[in-house]
Structure 1
Amino acid sequence: MCPYCQSVNADGALVCASCARDIAVPVTLIAERDDLLRKRDELRDELKRARSEIEAIMLRRKSH
Structure 2
Amino acid sequence: MKCPYCQSGNLEGALICASCGRDVAVPATLIAERDDLLRKRDALRAELRQAREEMEAIMQRRKSR
Residue 40 of structure 1 corresponds to: 41
Any residues of structure 2 matched to 1:18-29 within 5 Å, and which?
Answer: 18-29=19-30
Matched letter for residue 26 of structure 1: P
- TM-score normalised by structure 2 residue count: 0.80
Structure 1: distance between partners of 2:4 and 2:18? 12
Whole-Å Cα distance in 1 between the matches of residues 10 and 64 of structure 2?
A: 64
Helix, strand or coil for the counterpart of 1:56? helix
Instruction: Please tell me whether residue 58 in structure 1 is matched to residue 59 in structure 2.
Output: yes
Structure 2 residues not aligned, in runs of 5+: none
* Percent pairwise identity: 75
Q: CA 1:53/1:23 → structure 2, altered by over 3 Å: closer, same or farther?
A: same
TM value normalised by structure 1? 0.81
Corresponding residue pairs, total = 64
Distance of 2:56 and 2:12 partners within structure 1: 51
Q: CA RMSD in A?
A: 1.6
